[in-house]
Amino acid sequence: MGSMGKVLGVGLVVGCAVAMCVVAGTMVGKRVKSRRRWRKVVKILEEFEEGCATPVEKLRQVVDAMAVEMHAGLASEGGSKLKMLLTFVQNLPNGSERGVYYGLDLGGTNFRVLRVQLGGQRSAILEPGVERQPIPEHLMTSTSEELFDFIAASLQKFVEKEGNGSVALEGKLRELGFTFSFPVKQTSVSSGILIKWTKGFSIHDTVGKDVSECLNQALERRGLDMRVAVLINDTVGTLALGHYHDEDTVAAVIIGTGTNACYLERSDDIIKCQGLLTTSGAMVVNMEWGNFWSSHLPRTSYDIELDSESPNPNDQGFEKMISGMYLGDIVRRVILKMSQESDVFGLSFSKLSTPFILRSPLIAAMHEDDSPDLREVARILGEILEIGDVPLKVRKLVVKVCDVVTRRAARLAAAGIVGILKKMGRDGSGGIASGEVRGGSHSKMRRTVVAIEGALYTSYTLFREYLNDAIADILGEDISPHVVLKVMEDGSGMGAAVLAAAYSSSGQDTL
């Protein structure tokens, strides 16, 4: 027994030693493998970063391409991916407007009704009321009459709540600015035909109809003494509000769920509509810049996949690199790729393959996490993506991906803005028309204000900083002090009301 025990004992000792060797061997192997996998992940990041690079020379190419496409879109219908739609808005508010006006902002799942009081002399806008309401889901796919009756009823309730002091002047209708952010073919400043519904709406009998007329009829059915004075989209509202406060405002940009821009163009340059009679010699053009495209845009395989899996492939290419709807999904695709190539995000199931699970506020929260151990990043990875605790270096990697995506988005938006300035001859370069002498002297550079709205710019600090810095980079230190970006909070709705004032019978008409 004793010897058996000994043998067994030795056997055990030997067995353990072998086992330990195996364990040590596995650990070394694991370390080598994990280093190899880490290198793979770093390579994915580096390639992505390279693909997203936006050095200032590249941004200048985007600037030029934007200005050229704007020209092409103005030259002929379908001449560019930029639709460059006429808005028929020739006069922007100048601050002299007086009276009480209404705004209605319908652009998605919510709509807003508001009322402004204007006192002339660029007075502060008194805003006695704003009401925000969701559109009941069943109305988004019902009939035109039902939808507009619902909106008219809300307007009526809003007006009735006002009480005294806001009774419309005898025989005078209350005037409404209607912000309708769906594709419309404008037929006058106060009318336009719906081309198609987007954003979840689908009401067949509205398509092809004048949406102002639809609303006016609903208002009449309810006996409400109100009519649509102007029909605009949200960027035009932002420009109008900007111009009310500051007459140097000549363009507006929105970077929210989607992105778009408009600006004031000389009528002579709207070649596709020659003979366009304007009293002011200018008209606001709605660029629909989300659809801008240029081979100079830094595009990666992740962008290509995002586009091809989207419901609108080959559409809204610029928007897909810039706006709040998409930023998170680009980040998700990069992290997903990393998780497929290595185990740095763990091996268990995660939600990384769920499209659009990372919304842009989450990207902002991770990007701006300033805790030393990146607690917020860990929380979002855990709670939203169901990725268990990952080491600090992996959290840092995620932050870096957010940074690359957001930086590219902000810098491209900046290039777009400078492109508009270039088209207007306000970038200090003398415009794109060759041989045109606009006196390269910077002292002649006019102060230029761009109104800006949308949560990406207003609520995502790093996005805003990257955008501002890029504009300064592109323009250089001589020109950039002349260009001011001004946030127009609630510009889309308020601007519609103020523009209604500018177009009302008592409104003024100087730009």
Catalytic residues: 112, 181, 234
The option from ligand ADP, Mg ion, none interacting with 79 (CB < 5 to 8 A, set by class) reads none
Amino acid at 108: G
The option from ligand ADP, Mg ion, none interacting with 495 (CB < 5 to 8 A, set by class) reads none
Which lies closer to ligand ADP via its Cβ, residue 217 or residue 310?
A: 310
Quick one: tokens of 409?
A: 């988005």
**To the nearest whole angstrom, how small is the minimum distance from the Cβ of residue 86 to Mg ion?**
22
Which lies closer to Mg ion via its Cβ, residue 256 or residue 425?
A: 256
Q: CA 175 to CA 215: how far, in whole Å?
A: 13
Which lies closer to Mg ion via its Cβ, residue 230 or residue 344?
A: 230
Which lies closer to ligand ADP via its Cβ, residue 368 or residue 469?
A: 368
Task: Name which of residues 315 to 354 contact Mg ion (CB under 5 A).
Answer: none
Residues interacting with ligand ADP, by CB under 6 A? Answer: 107-108, 256-257, 324-325, 359-361, 364, 454-456, 459-460
Q: Strands 110-119, 126-134: parallel, antiparallel or unpaired by DSSP?
A: antiparallel
Q: In terms of Cα–Cα distance, which of 102, 99, 98 is closest to 177?
A: 102
* Cα angle, residue 330 at apex, residues 327 and 335 outer, rounded to 5°: 125
The option from Mg ion, ligand ADP, none interacting with 154 (CB < 5 to 8 A, set by class) reads none
DSSP assignment of 393-411 equals HHHHHHHHHHHHHHHHHHH
**To the nearest whole angstrom, how small is the minimum distance from the Cβ of residue 129 to ligand ADP?**
20
Task: Name which of residues 224 to 263 contact Mg ion (CB under 5 A).
Answer: 256
Question: Do residues 252 and 421 lie in contact, with contact meaning Cβ atoms separated by under 8 Å?
Answer: no
**To the nearest whole angstrom, how small is the minimum distance from the Cβ of residue 131 to Mg ion?**
16
Nearest-CB residue to ligand ADP? 256
Which lies closer to ligand ADP via its Cβ, residue 103 or residue 454?
A: 454
Torsions phi, psi for 282 (to 5 deg) = -145, 160
**To the nearest whole angstrom, how small is the minimum distance from the Cβ of residue 488 to ligand ADP?**
11
The option from Mg ion, ligand ADP, none interacting with 187 (CB < 5 to 8 A, set by class) reads none
What is the number of other CB atoms lying within 10 angstroms of the CB of residue 35?
A: 10
Residue count (the chain) = 511
**To the nearest whole angstrom, how small is the minimum distance from the Cβ of residue 238 to ligand ADP?**
10
The option from ligand ADP, Mg ion, none interacting with 317 (CB < 5 to 8 A, set by class) reads none
Coil/strand/helix, residue 455 = helix
Q: CA 426 to CA 449: how far, in whole Å?
A: 10
Q: CA 75 to CA 271: how far, in whole Å?
A: 5
Q: CA 141 to CA 79: how far, in whole Å?
A: 33
Q: Which residues bind Mg ion (CB under 5 A)?
A: 256
